[in-house]
Structure 1
Amino acid sequence: MADSLYVLTLSCADKPGIVAAVTTELADFGANIAESDQFWDRVTNQFFLRIAILAPEGVTLESVQRALDPVISRFDMKAKLVDTAKRPKVIVMVSKFDHAMLHLLYQIRVGWMDAEVVAIVSNHTDSQRTAEHEGIPYHHWPVNKENKAEQEEKLLKLVKETGADLVVLARYMQVLSDSLSKRLFGKIINIHHSFLPSFKGAKPYHQAHARGVKMIGATAHYVTPDLDEGPIIEQDAERVSHALSADDFVARGRDIESRVLARAVKYHLENRVMIVGNKTIVFTP
Protein backbone atom coordinates (compact mmCIF):
# COMPACT_ATOMS: atom_id res chain seq x y z
CA MET A 1 0.00 0.00 0.00
CA ALA A 2 1.15 3.55 -0.80
CA ASP A 3 0.81 6.67 1.31
CA SER A 4 -2.65 8.26 1.32
CA LEU A 5 -3.40 11.83 0.28
CA TYR A 6 -6.14 13.58 2.22
CA VAL A 7 -7.29 17.19 1.87
CA LEU A 8 -8.41 19.25 4.85
CA THR A 9 -10.29 22.53 4.42
CA LEU A 10 -11.41 24.63 7.36
CA SER A 11 -12.62 28.06 8.38
CA CYS A 12 -13.05 29.77 11.74
CA ALA A 13 -12.60 33.06 13.54
CA ASP A 14 -8.94 34.00 13.37
CA LYS A 15 -6.84 33.68 16.50
CA PRO A 16 -3.25 32.64 17.30
CA GLY A 17 -2.33 28.96 17.23
CA ILE A 18 -4.69 27.56 14.58
CA VAL A 19 -2.05 26.33 12.13
CA ALA A 20 0.21 25.12 14.95
CA ALA A 21 -2.60 23.09 16.51
CA VAL A 22 -3.53 21.43 13.22
CA THR A 23 0.01 20.65 12.09
CA THR A 24 0.99 19.32 15.52
CA GLU A 25 -1.75 16.71 15.33
CA LEU A 26 -0.67 15.78 11.81
CA ALA A 27 2.97 15.46 12.84
CA ASP A 28 2.05 13.14 15.71
CA PHE A 29 1.16 10.33 13.31
CA GLY A 30 3.96 11.06 10.86
CA ALA A 31 1.99 12.89 8.19
CA ASN A 32 3.68 15.17 5.72
CA ILE A 33 2.14 18.40 4.40
CA ALA A 34 2.19 18.17 0.60
CA GLU A 35 0.50 21.53 0.03
CA SER A 36 -0.75 24.35 2.25
CA ASP A 37 -2.70 27.54 1.54
CA GLN A 38 -4.23 29.98 3.98
CA PHE A 39 -6.09 33.31 3.94
CA TRP A 40 -7.09 35.76 6.64
CA ASP A 41 -10.02 38.03 5.81
CA ARG A 42 -9.22 41.12 7.84
CA VAL A 43 -12.70 42.59 7.35
CA THR A 44 -14.57 39.64 8.87
CA ASN A 45 -11.63 38.24 10.89
CA GLN A 46 -12.25 34.84 9.33
CA PHE A 47 -9.40 32.42 8.71
CA PHE A 48 -9.38 29.87 5.87
CA LEU A 49 -7.00 26.95 5.44
CA ARG A 50 -6.48 24.16 2.92
CA ILE A 51 -3.88 21.45 3.59
CA ALA A 52 -3.05 18.42 1.45
CA ILE A 53 -1.94 15.71 3.87
CA LEU A 54 0.33 12.85 2.86
CA ALA A 55 -0.39 10.21 5.48
CA PRO A 56 1.80 7.13 6.04
CA GLU A 57 0.59 3.69 5.06
CA GLY A 58 -2.12 2.46 7.41
CA VAL A 59 -3.24 5.90 8.59
CA THR A 60 -6.91 6.03 7.62
CA LEU A 61 -9.16 8.98 6.96
CA GLU A 62 -11.10 8.10 10.09
CA SER A 63 -7.98 8.15 12.27
CA VAL A 64 -6.95 11.56 10.92
CA GLN A 65 -10.47 12.86 11.56
CA ARG A 66 -10.41 11.58 15.16
CA ALA A 67 -7.04 13.24 15.76
CA LEU A 68 -8.30 16.56 14.43
CA ASP A 69 -11.70 16.56 16.14
CA PRO A 70 -10.45 18.14 19.41
CA VAL A 71 -8.76 20.96 17.46
CA ILE A 72 -11.87 21.49 15.35
CA SER A 73 -13.97 21.71 18.49
CA ARG A 74 -11.55 24.01 20.35
CA PHE A 75 -11.46 26.60 17.56
CA ASP A 76 -15.12 26.12 16.57
CA MET A 77 -14.10 25.31 13.01
CA LYS A 78 -16.14 24.40 9.97
CA ALA A 79 -13.96 21.62 8.61
CA LYS A 80 -14.04 19.00 5.85
CA LEU A 81 -11.63 16.12 5.33
CA VAL A 82 -11.66 14.12 2.09
CA ASP A 83 -9.74 11.20 0.61
CA THR A 84 -8.41 12.06 -2.85
CA ALA A 85 -8.38 8.36 -3.75
CA LYS A 86 -12.17 8.59 -4.09
CA ARG A 87 -12.75 9.69 -7.67
CA PRO A 88 -15.43 12.39 -7.85
CA LYS A 89 -18.54 11.66 -9.90
CA VAL A 90 -20.01 14.30 -12.17
CA ILE A 91 -23.26 14.77 -14.07
CA VAL A 92 -22.94 17.06 -17.11
CA MET A 93 -26.00 18.91 -18.42
CA VAL A 94 -25.92 20.41 -21.91
CA SER A 95 -28.30 21.76 -24.53
CA LYS A 96 -27.20 22.29 -28.15
CA PHE A 97 -23.84 24.05 -27.73
CA ASP A 98 -21.46 21.27 -26.71
CA HIS A 99 -18.03 22.96 -26.77
CA ALA A 100 -17.70 23.32 -22.99
CA MET A 101 -18.81 19.72 -22.41
CA LEU A 102 -16.37 18.38 -25.03
CA HIS A 103 -13.52 20.27 -23.38
CA LEU A 104 -14.41 18.78 -19.98
CA LEU A 105 -14.50 15.27 -21.41
CA TYR A 106 -11.13 15.79 -23.09
CA GLN A 107 -9.46 17.11 -19.94
CA ILE A 108 -10.72 14.09 -18.02
CA ARG A 109 -9.55 11.73 -20.76
CA VAL A 110 -6.00 13.09 -20.74
CA GLY A 111 -5.80 13.07 -16.96
CA TRP A 112 -5.64 16.81 -16.26
CA MET A 113 -8.88 16.50 -14.35
CA ASP A 114 -9.63 13.52 -12.12
CA ALA A 115 -13.33 12.76 -12.38
CA GLU A 116 -15.86 10.27 -13.70
CA VAL A 117 -18.77 11.55 -15.77
CA VAL A 118 -21.59 9.24 -14.69
CA ALA A 119 -24.29 10.77 -16.90
CA ILE A 120 -24.98 13.38 -19.55
CA VAL A 121 -28.40 15.02 -19.34
CA SER A 122 -29.85 17.13 -22.13
CA ASN A 123 -33.10 18.66 -23.30
CA HIS A 124 -31.95 17.87 -26.87
CA THR A 125 -30.50 14.84 -28.65
CA ASP A 126 -27.50 16.63 -30.21
CA SER A 127 -24.92 15.17 -27.79
CA GLN A 128 -26.23 11.62 -27.73
CA ARG A 129 -23.66 10.37 -30.22
CA THR A 130 -20.84 11.88 -28.12
CA ALA A 131 -22.16 10.13 -25.02
CA GLU A 132 -22.35 6.80 -26.81
CA HIS A 133 -18.79 7.22 -28.10
CA GLU A 134 -17.54 7.96 -24.57
CA GLY A 135 -19.58 5.15 -23.01
CA ILE A 136 -21.54 7.55 -20.81
CA PRO A 137 -25.27 7.05 -20.08
CA TYR A 138 -27.33 9.69 -21.90
CA HIS A 139 -30.64 11.04 -20.64
CA HIS A 140 -32.77 13.00 -23.08
CA TRP A 141 -35.26 14.95 -20.99
CA PRO A 142 -37.13 17.63 -22.96
CA VAL A 143 -38.27 20.48 -20.70
CA ASN A 144 -41.40 22.63 -20.89
CA LYS A 145 -43.58 24.51 -18.41
CA GLU A 146 -45.76 21.48 -17.81
CA ASN A 147 -43.00 18.92 -17.03
CA LYS A 148 -40.22 21.09 -15.56
CA ALA A 149 -40.87 20.03 -11.95
CA GLU A 150 -41.04 16.36 -12.98
CA GLN A 151 -37.74 16.57 -14.91
CA GLU A 152 -36.01 18.23 -11.96
CA GLU A 153 -37.20 15.45 -9.65
CA LYS A 154 -35.70 12.98 -12.14
CA LEU A 155 -32.41 14.87 -11.90
CA LEU A 156 -32.43 14.69 -8.09
CA LYS A 157 -33.11 10.97 -8.32
CA LEU A 158 -30.24 10.56 -10.81
CA VAL A 159 -27.87 12.44 -8.48
CA LYS A 160 -28.80 10.06 -5.67
CA GLU A 161 -28.63 6.90 -7.78
CA THR A 162 -25.24 7.72 -9.31
CA GLY A 163 -23.74 9.20 -6.15
CA ALA A 164 -22.82 12.31 -8.14
CA ASP A 165 -20.73 14.86 -6.26
CA LEU A 166 -21.29 17.67 -8.75
CA VAL A 167 -23.69 18.76 -11.49
CA VAL A 168 -22.10 20.83 -14.26
CA LEU A 169 -24.24 23.05 -16.48
CA ALA A 170 -22.08 23.10 -19.62
CA ARG A 171 -24.24 25.56 -21.56
CA TYR A 172 -27.47 23.96 -20.37
CA MET A 173 -29.91 26.61 -21.54
CA GLN A 174 -32.65 26.08 -18.97
CA VAL A 175 -33.20 28.08 -15.79
CA LEU A 176 -33.34 25.78 -12.78
CA SER A 177 -36.09 26.27 -10.24
CA ASP A 178 -35.47 27.98 -6.90
CA SER A 179 -36.24 24.69 -5.15
CA LEU A 180 -33.64 22.68 -7.08
CA SER A 181 -31.04 25.45 -6.75
CA LYS A 182 -31.48 25.47 -2.97
CA ARG A 183 -31.46 21.68 -2.61
CA LEU A 184 -28.20 21.32 -4.55
CA PHE A 185 -26.52 24.52 -3.40
CA GLY A 186 -22.76 24.27 -3.69
CA LYS A 187 -23.08 21.22 -5.94
CA ILE A 188 -24.07 22.85 -9.24
CA ILE A 189 -21.63 24.88 -11.34
CA ASN A 190 -22.80 26.93 -14.32
CA ILE A 191 -20.82 28.57 -17.11
CA HIS A 192 -22.26 31.95 -18.06
CA HIS A 193 -21.10 33.34 -21.37
CA SER A 194 -20.37 36.80 -20.02
CA PHE A 195 -18.10 38.53 -17.54
CA LEU A 196 -20.57 38.78 -14.66
CA PRO A 197 -22.06 40.83 -13.11
CA SER A 198 -22.52 42.53 -16.50
CA PHE A 199 -24.83 41.21 -19.23
CA LYS A 200 -26.91 38.65 -17.37
CA GLY A 201 -29.61 36.49 -18.95
CA ALA A 202 -30.04 35.70 -22.65
CA LYS A 203 -27.67 36.61 -25.51
CA PRO A 204 -24.99 38.33 -23.38
CA TYR A 205 -22.53 38.51 -26.31
CA HIS A 206 -25.09 40.40 -28.34
CA GLN A 207 -25.72 42.69 -25.36
CA ALA A 208 -21.97 43.29 -25.07
CA HIS A 209 -21.65 43.95 -28.81
CA ALA A 210 -24.47 46.48 -28.68
CA ARG A 211 -22.66 48.30 -25.86
CA GLY A 212 -19.38 48.38 -27.77
CA VAL A 213 -17.35 46.67 -25.07
CA LYS A 214 -13.59 46.22 -25.51
CA MET A 215 -13.38 42.97 -23.54
CA ILE A 216 -15.58 39.89 -23.41
CA GLY A 217 -15.38 37.06 -20.96
CA ALA A 218 -16.99 34.12 -19.24
CA THR A 219 -17.87 33.33 -15.64
CA ALA A 220 -18.17 30.00 -13.83
CA HIS A 221 -20.29 30.24 -10.70
CA TYR A 222 -22.37 28.20 -8.30
CA VAL A 223 -26.07 28.15 -9.08
CA THR A 224 -28.45 29.93 -6.71
CA PRO A 225 -32.12 30.95 -6.98
CA ASP A 226 -30.92 34.40 -8.14
CA LEU A 227 -30.22 34.04 -11.86
CA ASP A 228 -26.52 34.39 -12.72
CA GLU A 229 -25.71 35.81 -9.28
CA GLY A 230 -24.23 32.80 -7.48
CA PRO A 231 -20.76 32.80 -5.90
CA ILE A 232 -18.15 33.21 -8.66
CA ILE A 233 -15.42 30.57 -8.91
CA GLU A 234 -13.47 31.55 -12.03
CA GLN A 235 -13.47 34.16 -14.78
CA ASP A 236 -11.43 35.10 -17.83
CA ALA A 237 -11.59 37.73 -20.55
CA GLU A 238 -10.21 38.62 -23.98
CA ARG A 239 -9.85 41.91 -25.83
CA VAL A 240 -12.17 42.58 -28.77
CA SER A 241 -12.65 45.51 -31.11
CA HIS A 242 -15.31 47.42 -33.00
CA ALA A 243 -14.34 45.52 -36.16
CA LEU A 244 -15.80 42.27 -34.85
CA SER A 245 -19.42 41.20 -35.28
CA ALA A 246 -21.68 39.75 -32.61
CA ASP A 247 -21.06 36.33 -34.19
CA ASP A 248 -17.30 36.91 -33.81
CA PHE A 249 -17.88 37.61 -30.13
CA VAL A 250 -19.75 34.30 -29.84
CA ALA A 251 -16.97 32.38 -31.60
CA ARG A 252 -14.23 33.83 -29.40
CA GLY A 253 -16.37 33.30 -26.35
CA ARG A 254 -16.61 29.55 -26.90
CA ASP A 255 -12.92 29.12 -26.18
CA ILE A 256 -13.07 31.30 -23.07
CA GLU A 257 -16.14 29.47 -21.73
CA SER A 258 -14.52 26.06 -22.17
CA ARG A 259 -11.34 27.05 -20.34
CA VAL A 260 -13.11 28.86 -17.51
CA LEU A 261 -15.56 26.05 -16.84
CA ALA A 262 -12.83 23.39 -16.85
CA ARG A 263 -10.74 25.33 -14.33
CA ALA A 264 -13.72 25.97 -12.07
CA VAL A 265 -14.73 22.29 -12.07
CA LYS A 266 -11.14 21.22 -11.38
CA TYR A 267 -10.83 23.65 -8.45
CA HIS A 268 -14.11 22.41 -6.99
CA LEU A 269 -13.26 18.73 -7.35
CA GLU A 270 -9.86 19.31 -5.74
CA ASN A 271 -11.55 21.01 -2.77
CA ARG A 272 -9.90 24.34 -3.51
CA VAL A 273 -13.10 26.39 -3.32
CA MET A 274 -14.72 27.60 -0.10
CA ILE A 275 -18.07 29.41 -0.28
CA VAL A 276 -18.35 32.45 1.97
CA GLY A 277 -21.75 34.09 1.63
CA ASN A 278 -22.02 35.23 -1.97
CA LYS A 279 -18.26 35.01 -2.57
CA THR A 280 -15.66 32.26 -2.74
CA ILE A 281 -12.14 31.70 -1.47
CA VAL A 282 -10.26 29.83 -4.22
CA PHE A 283 -6.84 28.34 -3.44
CA THR A 284 -5.49 27.96 -6.97
CA PRO A 285 -2.56 25.55 -7.52
Structure 2
Amino acid sequence: MALPLSDHGELIRRIEADMLDSLDEAFELESEDSFTSLDVDGTRPADTDASRDERRQYFRTLFQLQGELVKLQDWVASTGQKVVILFEGRDAAGKGGVIKRITQRLNPRVCRVVALPAPNDRERTQWYFQRYAAHLPAAGEMVLFDRSWYNRAGVERVMGFCSDDEYEEFFRSAPEFERMLMRSGIKLIKYWFSITDDEQHLRFLGRMHDPLKQWKLSPMDLESRRRWEAYTRAKEVMLERTHIPESPWWIVQAVDKKKARLNCMTHLLSQFDYSEVPHPPVELPARVRHADYSRNPVPDEMIVPEIF
Protein backbone atom coordinates (compact mmCIF):
# COMPACT_ATOMS: atom_id res chain seq x y z
CA MET A 1 0.00 0.00 0.00
CA ALA A 2 1.32 3.48 -0.87
CA LEU A 3 2.33 5.79 1.96
CA PRO A 4 -0.44 8.29 2.95
CA LEU A 5 -0.22 11.80 1.52
CA SER A 6 0.44 13.12 5.04
CA ASP A 7 3.73 11.20 5.00
CA HIS A 8 4.90 12.91 1.80
CA GLY A 9 7.71 14.75 3.58
CA GLU A 10 8.97 11.55 5.16
CA LEU A 11 8.77 9.81 1.79
CA ILE A 12 10.92 12.52 0.17
CA ARG A 13 13.42 12.31 3.04
CA ARG A 14 13.73 8.55 2.66
CA ILE A 15 14.12 8.77 -1.12
CA GLU A 16 16.90 11.34 -0.61
CA ALA A 17 18.55 9.02 1.91
CA ASP A 18 18.30 6.19 -0.59
CA MET A 19 19.95 8.36 -3.25
CA LEU A 20 22.79 9.06 -0.81
CA ASP A 21 23.08 5.34 -0.24
CA SER A 22 23.48 4.90 -4.00
CA LEU A 23 26.35 7.40 -3.89
CA ASP A 24 27.87 5.41 -1.04
CA GLU A 25 27.68 2.30 -3.20
CA ALA A 26 29.72 4.04 -5.88
CA PHE A 27 32.28 5.14 -3.28
CA GLU A 28 32.48 1.59 -1.94
CA LEU A 29 33.32 0.22 -5.35
CA GLU A 30 35.92 2.90 -6.14
CA SER A 31 37.68 3.48 -2.81
CA GLU A 32 40.34 1.20 -1.35
CA ASP A 33 41.67 2.17 2.08
CA SER A 34 41.11 5.93 2.30
CA PHE A 35 38.16 7.00 4.41
CA THR A 36 38.61 10.71 3.71
CA SER A 37 37.51 10.18 0.12
CA LEU A 38 34.19 8.79 1.35
CA ASP A 39 32.89 12.16 2.57
CA VAL A 40 29.94 13.52 0.60
CA ASP A 41 29.32 17.26 0.27
CA GLY A 42 26.70 17.91 2.96
CA THR A 43 24.19 19.74 0.85
CA ARG A 44 21.34 17.22 0.87
CA PRO A 45 18.80 17.39 3.70
CA ALA A 46 19.30 13.68 4.39
CA ASP A 47 23.08 14.06 4.84
CA THR A 48 23.71 15.34 8.40
CA ASP A 49 26.79 15.19 10.62
CA ALA A 50 25.25 12.18 12.37
CA SER A 51 24.58 10.37 9.09
CA ARG A 52 28.14 11.04 7.90
CA ASP A 53 29.53 9.62 11.14
CA GLU A 54 27.24 6.62 10.77
CA ARG A 55 28.43 6.03 7.22
CA ARG A 56 32.09 6.28 8.26
CA GLN A 57 31.47 3.60 10.88
CA TYR A 58 29.65 1.52 8.29
CA PHE A 59 32.58 1.67 5.88
CA ARG A 60 35.05 0.90 8.65
CA THR A 61 33.09 -2.21 9.63
CA LEU A 62 32.52 -3.17 6.00
CA PHE A 63 36.24 -3.13 5.20
CA GLN A 64 37.02 -5.16 8.32
CA LEU A 65 34.48 -7.80 7.32
CA GLN A 66 35.77 -7.85 3.75
CA GLY A 67 39.25 -8.47 5.14
CA GLU A 68 37.88 -11.49 7.00
CA LEU A 69 36.16 -12.70 3.84
CA VAL A 70 39.53 -12.65 2.09
CA LYS A 71 40.87 -14.89 4.87
CA LEU A 72 37.84 -17.18 4.47
CA GLN A 73 38.44 -17.34 0.72
CA ASP A 74 42.07 -18.36 1.24
CA TRP A 75 41.00 -21.03 3.76
CA VAL A 76 38.33 -22.40 1.39
CA ALA A 77 40.84 -22.62 -1.46
CA SER A 78 43.66 -24.12 0.58
CA THR A 79 41.53 -26.73 2.36
CA GLY A 80 39.39 -27.71 -0.63
CA GLN A 81 36.06 -26.66 0.87
CA LYS A 82 32.93 -26.55 -1.29
CA VAL A 83 30.50 -23.76 -0.38
CA VAL A 84 27.07 -22.82 -1.74
CA ILE A 85 25.21 -19.75 -0.46
CA LEU A 86 21.65 -19.00 -1.56
CA PHE A 87 20.24 -15.46 -1.49
CA GLU A 88 16.47 -15.24 -1.69
CA GLY A 89 13.94 -12.51 -0.98
CA ARG A 90 11.43 -10.21 -2.60
CA ASP A 91 12.35 -7.92 -5.47
CA ALA A 92 14.43 -4.97 -4.19
CA ALA A 93 15.15 -6.74 -0.88
CA GLY A 94 18.89 -6.08 -1.20
CA LYS A 95 20.21 -9.48 -2.30
CA GLY A 96 22.36 -8.05 -5.06
CA GLY A 97 23.78 -5.41 -2.75
CA VAL A 98 25.10 -7.85 -0.19
CA ILE A 99 26.41 -10.20 -2.89
CA LYS A 100 28.30 -7.26 -4.37
CA ARG A 101 29.92 -6.45 -1.00
CA ILE A 102 30.82 -10.08 -0.30
CA THR A 103 32.51 -10.59 -3.65
CA GLN A 104 34.00 -7.11 -4.04
CA ARG A 105 37.48 -8.02 -2.73
CA LEU A 106 37.48 -11.73 -3.56
CA ASN A 107 39.06 -13.73 -6.36
CA PRO A 108 36.40 -14.56 -8.99
CA ARG A 109 38.22 -17.85 -9.64
CA VAL A 110 37.42 -18.88 -6.06
CA CYS A 111 34.14 -17.06 -5.41
CA ARG A 112 31.65 -16.72 -8.27
CA VAL A 113 28.06 -15.57 -8.59
CA VAL A 114 25.32 -17.49 -10.39
CA ALA A 115 22.24 -15.53 -11.50
CA LEU A 116 20.34 -17.67 -13.97
CA PRO A 117 17.73 -16.28 -16.37
CA ALA A 118 14.35 -17.90 -16.90
CA PRO A 119 14.72 -21.46 -18.23
CA ASN A 120 14.64 -21.94 -21.99
CA ASP A 121 12.47 -24.49 -23.79
CA ARG A 122 15.06 -27.25 -23.45
CA GLU A 123 15.71 -26.59 -19.76
CA ARG A 124 11.99 -26.76 -19.02
CA THR A 125 12.05 -30.43 -20.06
CA GLN A 126 15.01 -31.30 -17.80
CA TRP A 127 15.01 -32.48 -14.21
CA TYR A 128 14.17 -29.30 -12.34
CA PHE A 129 17.46 -29.11 -10.38
CA GLN A 130 19.63 -29.98 -13.39
CA ARG A 131 20.51 -26.47 -14.50
CA TYR A 132 21.42 -25.47 -10.94
CA ALA A 133 23.53 -28.58 -10.37
CA ALA A 134 25.71 -27.60 -13.33
CA HIS A 135 26.93 -24.57 -11.34
CA LEU A 136 27.79 -26.31 -8.08
CA PRO A 137 31.34 -25.79 -6.78
CA ALA A 138 34.38 -28.00 -7.12
CA ALA A 139 36.86 -28.25 -4.25
CA GLY A 140 38.18 -24.85 -3.19
CA GLU A 141 35.26 -22.87 -4.59
CA MET A 142 32.43 -20.72 -3.24
CA VAL A 143 29.26 -20.24 -5.32
CA LEU A 144 26.72 -17.52 -4.49
CA PHE A 145 23.29 -18.02 -6.06
CA ASP A 146 21.41 -14.76 -6.67
CA ARG A 147 18.07 -16.59 -6.58
CA SER A 148 18.13 -20.33 -6.83
CA TRP A 149 16.03 -23.45 -7.18
CA TYR A 150 13.60 -21.76 -4.78
CA ASN A 151 12.21 -19.87 -7.78
CA ARG A 152 9.72 -22.73 -8.02
CA ALA A 153 8.42 -22.05 -4.51
CA GLY A 154 8.20 -18.30 -5.18
CA VAL A 155 7.78 -16.62 -8.53
CA GLU A 156 6.82 -19.79 -10.41
CA ARG A 157 4.09 -20.58 -7.88
CA VAL A 158 2.73 -17.03 -7.66
CA MET A 159 2.84 -16.34 -11.41
CA GLY A 160 1.46 -19.75 -12.40
CA PHE A 161 4.61 -20.92 -14.20
CA CYS A 162 4.41 -24.40 -12.67
CA SER A 163 1.59 -26.85 -12.08
CA ASP A 164 0.32 -27.93 -8.66
CA ASP A 165 1.97 -31.32 -9.16
CA GLU A 166 5.33 -29.72 -10.02
CA TYR A 167 5.00 -27.47 -6.97
CA GLU A 168 4.36 -30.40 -4.62
CA GLU A 169 7.15 -32.43 -6.20
CA PHE A 170 9.53 -29.56 -5.53
CA PHE A 171 8.81 -29.71 -1.81
CA ARG A 172 9.35 -33.46 -1.81
CA SER A 173 12.61 -33.14 -3.75
CA ALA A 174 14.25 -29.96 -2.42
CA PRO A 175 15.06 -31.22 1.09
CA GLU A 176 16.44 -34.48 -0.33
CA PHE A 177 18.45 -32.58 -2.96
CA GLU A 178 19.97 -30.40 -0.24
CA ARG A 179 20.73 -33.37 2.02
CA MET A 180 22.48 -34.98 -0.94
CA LEU A 181 24.58 -31.85 -1.43
CA MET A 182 25.53 -31.84 2.24
CA ARG A 183 26.47 -35.53 2.16
CA SER A 184 28.70 -34.86 -0.84
CA GLY A 185 30.71 -32.37 1.23
CA ILE A 186 29.05 -29.10 0.18
CA LYS A 187 28.43 -26.49 2.87
CA LEU A 188 25.00 -25.00 2.09
CA ILE A 189 23.77 -21.74 3.62
CA LYS A 190 20.37 -20.21 2.80
CA TYR A 191 19.45 -16.55 3.40
CA TRP A 192 16.05 -14.90 3.06
CA PHE A 193 16.14 -11.08 2.95
CA SER A 194 13.02 -9.69 4.63
CA ILE A 195 11.59 -6.23 3.94
CA THR A 196 8.25 -4.60 4.65
CA ASP A 197 5.52 -3.68 2.17
CA ASP A 198 6.25 0.04 2.60
CA GLU A 199 9.99 -0.46 2.17
CA GLN A 200 9.58 -2.30 -1.12
CA HIS A 201 7.19 0.45 -2.26
CA LEU A 202 9.85 3.04 -1.43
CA ARG A 203 12.63 1.17 -3.23
CA PHE A 204 10.51 0.71 -6.33
CA LEU A 205 9.80 4.46 -6.35
CA GLY A 206 13.53 5.10 -6.05
CA ARG A 207 14.23 2.86 -9.03
CA MET A 208 11.50 4.53 -11.07
CA HIS A 209 13.09 7.96 -10.56
CA ASP A 210 16.76 6.94 -10.83
CA PRO A 211 17.91 6.62 -14.47
CA LEU A 212 20.79 4.38 -13.35
CA LYS A 213 18.40 1.91 -11.69
CA GLN A 214 15.38 1.86 -13.98
CA TRP A 215 16.72 -1.25 -15.72
CA LYS A 216 16.17 -3.12 -12.44
CA LEU A 217 12.39 -2.76 -12.76
CA SER A 218 11.07 -5.52 -14.99
CA PRO A 219 7.37 -6.13 -15.74
CA MET A 220 7.63 -9.13 -13.40
CA ASP A 221 8.91 -6.88 -10.60
CA LEU A 222 6.00 -4.49 -11.07
CA GLU A 223 3.53 -7.37 -11.03
CA SER A 224 5.08 -8.60 -7.77
CA ARG A 225 3.94 -5.38 -6.09
CA ARG A 226 0.33 -6.15 -6.95
CA ARG A 227 0.71 -9.72 -5.67
CA TRP A 228 2.46 -8.89 -2.39
CA GLU A 229 0.11 -11.05 -0.34
CA ALA A 230 0.43 -14.03 -2.69
CA TYR A 231 4.22 -13.80 -2.38
CA THR A 232 3.89 -13.64 1.40
CA ARG A 233 1.83 -16.82 1.47
CA ALA A 234 4.28 -18.56 -0.87
CA LYS A 235 7.25 -17.49 1.29
CA GLU A 236 5.59 -18.79 4.46
CA VAL A 237 4.91 -22.18 2.87
CA MET A 238 8.46 -22.33 1.51
CA LEU A 239 10.06 -21.62 4.88
CA GLU A 240 7.79 -24.08 6.67
CA ARG A 241 8.47 -26.94 4.26
CA THR A 242 12.18 -26.46 3.53
CA HIS A 243 13.60 -25.27 6.87
CA ILE A 244 15.38 -28.51 7.76
CA PRO A 245 18.14 -29.20 10.32
CA GLU A 246 20.69 -30.01 7.62
CA SER A 247 20.13 -26.71 5.76
CA PRO A 248 18.09 -24.22 7.78
CA TRP A 249 16.89 -20.86 6.55
CA TRP A 250 18.43 -17.70 8.01
CA ILE A 251 16.28 -14.54 7.94
CA VAL A 252 18.08 -11.24 7.37
CA GLN A 253 16.11 -8.18 8.48
CA ALA A 254 16.78 -5.98 5.45
CA VAL A 255 14.77 -2.77 5.79
CA ASP A 256 18.05 -1.02 6.67
CA LYS A 257 20.27 -2.05 3.74
CA LYS A 258 23.59 -1.20 5.36
CA LYS A 259 22.84 -3.06 8.58
CA ALA A 260 21.54 -6.02 6.57
CA ARG A 261 24.81 -6.25 4.64
CA LEU A 262 26.95 -6.12 7.76
CA ASN A 263 24.73 -8.57 9.66
CA CYS A 264 24.67 -11.05 6.79
CA MET A 265 28.44 -10.88 6.26
CA THR A 266 29.09 -11.30 9.99
CA HIS A 267 26.75 -14.28 10.18
CA LEU A 268 28.27 -15.85 7.07
CA LEU A 269 31.75 -15.69 8.60
CA SER A 270 30.43 -17.26 11.81
CA GLN A 271 29.35 -20.36 9.88
CA PHE A 272 32.95 -21.43 9.27
CA ASP A 273 35.73 -22.47 11.62
CA TYR A 274 38.28 -20.88 9.33
CA SER A 275 41.78 -19.68 10.09
CA GLU A 276 44.22 -17.38 8.37
CA VAL A 277 46.36 -19.19 5.82
CA PRO A 278 50.04 -18.19 6.07
CA HIS A 279 51.61 -16.90 2.88
CA PRO A 280 55.33 -16.53 2.16
CA PRO A 281 56.58 -12.96 1.84
CA VAL A 282 56.18 -11.53 -1.64
CA GLU A 283 59.39 -10.34 -3.25
CA LEU A 284 59.34 -8.39 -6.48
CA PRO A 285 61.99 -9.78 -8.83
CA ALA A 286 64.28 -7.43 -10.69
CA ARG A 287 63.27 -6.89 -14.29
CA VAL A 288 65.58 -8.46 -16.85
CA ARG A 289 66.95 -5.87 -19.25
CA HIS A 290 68.57 -6.49 -22.64
CA ALA A 291 70.67 -3.92 -24.45
CA ASP A 292 69.26 -4.89 -27.85
CA TYR A 293 65.59 -4.43 -26.80
CA SER A 294 63.67 -1.35 -27.89
CA ARG A 295 59.97 -0.76 -27.54
CA ASN A 296 58.02 -0.32 -30.78
CA PRO A 297 56.00 2.89 -31.00
CA VAL A 298 52.21 2.58 -30.91
CA PRO A 299 50.43 4.05 -33.99
CA ASP A 300 48.50 7.20 -33.16
CA GLU A 301 45.25 5.79 -34.60
CA MET A 302 45.29 3.05 -31.95
CA ILE A 303 45.43 5.45 -28.99
CA VAL A 304 42.26 6.16 -27.05
CA PRO A 305 41.66 9.94 -27.13
CA GLU A 306 42.71 11.58 -23.84
CA ILE A 307 39.58 13.63 -23.26
CA PHE A 308 40.13 13.81 -19.49
TM-score by length of 2: 0.29
Greater helix fraction, Structure 1 or Structure 2: 2
Q: Which of 1 and 2 has higher RCO (CA within 8 Å, sep 6+)?
A: 2
Query: Rg bigger for which structure?
Result: 2
Greater strand fraction, Structure 1 or Structure 2: 1
